[in-house]
């Protein structure tokens, strides 16, 4: 097993990697298939022992992998059978050879009749590979439902059938796997959108293809790693003072919403900003300062009150709890009229969606619903192609864009995408976006460039969320991240 790689590919790019390994480097396709099967079966034995195995096979190399896994189970003395949706004599190439070798080893097979055996077994999903280009229907949809209705654990080969391995969207219906093993090139759709939910644990194996195979093949995205944090957040000089770590101004906390601005402001402090001020409704000042006395807080009633705060700030975070009133719009307009780097979230994004404008030097942090409004569409369309959506946002607004959600994406106007594979469902709770906004603003204030602040900020936020979830995901709240943020900004 290899660690999850940084380079993430679309299925077409992985097919090119396969071609290079076979044609340019002389590795027979059946050798690659056998290595994949060996890794998959070794993983099954390690995870679930010598349990009975049922491989549900379709067509193509994905089915071939299933036949190899079933043959290896037989060789280990484990009861195994293949249930097929495409007759073995209709297979070709390496898949046909795998089926013949399974049969020659005494393997049993039968056609799918609408259900799977009721006896406990490990189910191997070898139905549909990465080339899926239309919604799953007919007998294949029935087979997906049968797999999902079973009582045994499910291992998906390369990708859960029905999951788009490029976008992370579901093509009609999809297998819910407990474990997915994927090979040669890491498919980007496994790590974003519905991918994390449907894949379960993801294990990667290069199948020992030479490093040269990857040279010159473009990536779809790159995974954001802790190495970026270590490079950017080096130890501070011994003569450091608060002035060298920047001054973040958080603008937000409209009527009834002081907590959002407070969360963003404390996150900026926890990530290392030297000074943090909050501009909020006058009636909220006491609550913000009482909860975190290290924050400076000013009540503002109009844009004139904001001017002196903007003169002292080096970075602005605007949007947490801002609202969409006249007060909100006037403050946002005042912030955007400056030359300061700005991080926008929440209602600042909704106001921009209603009245788009050019700006530059800004970072947008939408969730799918906000992204849909910014693109004049809806969250479902955004989730159908998160990579396309984040690139469209970055281009339309000339902005570094963070598309939040499972497998958060970061993209700049150059179209290069970073993907964060950390994080957990416990983070789907009010206030988490406010914390992320403060983290990114705090990193900007300390001198990181915009793309680095966004990428590293997303990763620190997710890592802190994973640490905080150790005692359980349900019931986690946004402020639970604060102790762990400090841990991850001191690598």
- Distance separating alpha carbons of residues 464 and 439, to the nearest angstrom: 11
Q: Is 353 within 8 Å of 364 (Cβ atoms)? A: no
Give the pLDDT band of residue 315 (cuts 50, 70, 90).
Answer: very high
pLDDT attached to residue 151: 84
Nearest to 194 by CA among 176, 180, 210: 176
What pLDDT, in 10s, does the model give residues 408-429? 999 999 999 999 999 999 999 9
Half-sphere exposure of 481 (CA within 13 A, CB side): 38
pTM to 2 decimal places: 0.96
What pLDDT, in 10s, does the model give residues 423-446? 999 999 999 999 999 999 999 999
> Domains of the chain (ranges plus CATH)?
7-218 (3.40.50.10260), 226-488 (3.40.1190.20)
pLDDT attached to residue 1: 64
Please state, as a whole number, how many other Cβ atoms lie within 10 Å of the Cβ of residue 222. Answer: 17
What's the token pair of residue 12? 């077409």
Please state, as a whole number, how many other Cβ atoms lie within 10 Å of the Cβ of residue 201. Answer: 13
Q: What is the mean pLDDT of residues 18-39?
A: 98
DSSP 407-423: T-EEE-TT--EEE----
Give the pLDDT band of residue 260 (cuts 50, 70, 90).
Answer: very high
Helix (H), strand (E) at residue 279 = strand 275-280
Give the pLDDT band of residue 118 (cuts 50, 70, 90).
Answer: confident
pLDDT attached to residue 347: 97
Instruction: Decide if pLDDT at 2 tops 90.
Output: no
What pLDDT, in 10s, does the model give residues 183-202? 999 999 999 999 999 999 99
Instruction: Decide if pLDDT at 167 tops 80.
Output: yes
């Amino acid at each position: 097993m290899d660690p999850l790689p940084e380079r993430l590919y679309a299925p077409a790019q992985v097919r090119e990697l396969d071609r290079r390994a076979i044609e340019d480097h002389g590795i027979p396709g059946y050798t690659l298939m056998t290595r994949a099967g060996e890794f998959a079966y070794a993983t099954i034995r390690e995870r679930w022992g010598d349990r009975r195995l049922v491989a549900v096979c379709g067509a193509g190399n994905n089915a071939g992998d299933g036949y190899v896994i079933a043959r290896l189970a037989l060789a280990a003395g484990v009861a195994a059978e293949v249930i097929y949706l495409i007759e073995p004599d209709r297979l070709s190439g390496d898949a046909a050879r795998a089926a013949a070798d399974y049969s020659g080893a005494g393997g049993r097979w039968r056609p799918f009749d609408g259900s799977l055996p009721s006896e406990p077994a490990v189910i191997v999903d070898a139905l549909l590979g990465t080339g899926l280009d239309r919604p799953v229907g007919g007998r294949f949809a029935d087979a997906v439902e049968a797999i999902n209705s079973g009582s045994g654990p499910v291992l998906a080969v390369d990708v859960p059938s029905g999951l788009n391995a490029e976008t992370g969207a579901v093509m009609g219906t999809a297998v819910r796997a407990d474990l997915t093993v994927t090979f040669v090139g890491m498919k980007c759709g496994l790590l974003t959108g519905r991918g994390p939910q449907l894949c379960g644990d993801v294990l990667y194996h290069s199948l020992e293809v030479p490093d040269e195979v990857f040279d010159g093949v473009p990536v779809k995205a790159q995974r954001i790693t802790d190495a970026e944090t270590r490079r950017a957040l080096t130890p501070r000089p011994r003569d450091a003072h608060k002035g060298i770590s920047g001054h973040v101004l958080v603008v937000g906390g409209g009527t009834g919403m002081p907590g959002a601005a407070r969360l963003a402001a404390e996150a900026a402090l926890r990530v290392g900003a030297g000074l943090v001020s909050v501009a909020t409704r006058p009636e909220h000042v006491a609550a913000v300062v009482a909860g975190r006395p290290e924050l400076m807080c000013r009540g503002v009633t109009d844009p004139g009150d904001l001017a002196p705060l903007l003169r002292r700030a080096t970075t602005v975070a605007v949007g947490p709890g801002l609202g969409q009133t006249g007060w909100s719009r006037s403050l946002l307009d005042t912030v955007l009229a400056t030359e300061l780097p700005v991080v926008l979230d929440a209602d600042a994004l909704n106001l921009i969606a209603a009245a788009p404008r050019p700006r530059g030097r800004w970072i947008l942090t939408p969730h799918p619903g906000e992204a849909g409004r910014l693109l004049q569409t809806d969250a479902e369309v955004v989730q159908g192609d998160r990579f396309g959506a984040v690139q469209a946002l970055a281009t339309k607004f000339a902005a570094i864009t963070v598309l939040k959600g499972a497998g958060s994406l970061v993209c700049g106007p150059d179209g290069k995408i970073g993907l964060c594979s950390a994080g957990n469902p416990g983070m789907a709770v009010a206030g988490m976006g406010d914390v992320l906004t403060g983290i990114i603003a705090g990193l900007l204030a300390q001198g990181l460039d915009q793309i680095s602040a966004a990428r590293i900020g997303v990763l620190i936020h997710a890592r802190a969320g994973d640490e905080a979830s150790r005692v359980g995901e349900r019931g986690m709240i946004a402020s639970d991240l604060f102790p762990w943020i400090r841990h991850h900004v001191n690598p």
